[in-house]
Amino acid sequence: MITAKKKKRKSFSMEKVMPVILLLTAIVSVLTTIGILLTLIFETFIFFDRVAIGEFLTAQKWYPFSDPGSFGILPLVSGTLKVTGIAVIVAVPIGLATAIYLSEYASDKARRTIKPILEVLAGIPTIVYGFFALTFVTPILREFIPTLEIFNALSPGIVIGIMITPMIASLSEDAMSSVPRAMREGALALGSTKLEVSLKVVLPAAISGIVSSIVLAISRAIGETMIVAVAGGSTPNLSWDVTSSIQTMTAYIVQVSQGDAGYGTTIYYSIYAVGFTLFMFTLLMNLLAQFISRRFREEY
C-alpha cells in the first residue's frame, strides 16, 4: 500500500515537472534563434557603416582582399545559384522517380531495402561528398568536357544534387503514400494504367507535399558549404559558365573564417553581411514551402 502511494506521488511529481522542462527547452531554442538573428543584424549594420548598401547589392565585383576592396555580392550570388540550379536539375527527376517507385510500384521488401540506403546517402558527411566531387566526379567530367577546370560549378552541383535526392524522395514518398487507396482503385476501375494513376492521380493529389520537399531541398542546396568549398574553388565571378571556378556565399564564409582576415576589419564584418544574405535566401525558401503546403494541401 505504501509502495503504491509512493509510485503515485512520484508519477504526480513527474507530471508537474515535465511540462516545465519541456517549456524551458522550447524557450532555449527560441532564444538561441533570436540570439543568432540579432548577432547577424548587428554585425551586418557595422559592415554597412563602412560599405554602402548600394555597392553591396549592385556592384559586379567581389574582391575584398584588394586595396581598395570591392564588395559586390552579385558574383557570390551567381555562384550559389549556378550550383543550386545544377543540383535541382539532378535531384528533382531522380527524387520524384524514386518516390513514385517506392509509393506505387515497390514491394514491401524492396521498400525496406531501398529506404535505408537513401537514409545512408543523407547521412554521409558533406566533406566526404566534397572530396568525392573533386577526386572522382571532376576527372570523369573532364573526359567529356576537356575545357572543364579542376575547380568548377558543374561537379559540386551534381554531387549536391545527389546529396539532396534522399530529401526529395523521402518527403515526396510520404506525401504520395498519404493519398487514399480509394483514389487509386477508382482510377484503375475506370481503365487507367498504373503509370497513368501514378502521374495523373497520385502526383497531383500529393503536389503540396512534393513541391514543399523540392523547396526545402533547394534551401539545403543553397546553404551547402563543404562540397562547394572543396570542389568549387574560390574565384567569385559574375557569369553563367559552369566549367570555370566559382565561389559561393558559404565558401566565402569558410575562407574568411579560416583566419584570412583579422577581427574588426571590414573583411571580417563582410562574412556577417554575406551570412545575412544567405539567411534571407533560406528564410524566403522556407516561407515559400509553408505557403505552398497550406495553399495546395488536400484534405482526405
User: Comparing C-alpha atoms, which of 299, 111, 107, 127 is closest to residue 205?
Assistant: 299
What is Dmax (Cα atoms) for the chain? 84
- State the DSSP code for 299: P
Rg (CA), the chain: 24
Q: Where are the alpha helices (DSSP H) in the chain?
A: 2-50, 53-58, 74-100, 108-123, 126-132, 138-144, 154-177, 181-189, 194-197, 203-205, 207-222, 226-231, 249-255, 266-295
Task: Please list the pLDDT of the chain residue by residue as tens digits (300 residues).
Answer: 456 555 566 665 667 777 888 888 889 888 888 888 888 888 888 888 888 888 888 888 888 877 777 888 889 998 899 999 999 999 999 999 999 988 888 888 888 888 888 878 878 888 899 999 999 999 999 988 888 889 999 999 999 999 999 989 988 888 888 888 888 878 888 887 888 888 888 888 888 888 888 988 988 888 888 888 888 888 888 888 888 888 888 888 888 877 666 777 888 888 889 989 888 888 888 887 777 777 766 655
Q: Where are the domains of the chain?
A: 70-295
CATH architecture of 70-295: Orthogonal Bundle (1.10)
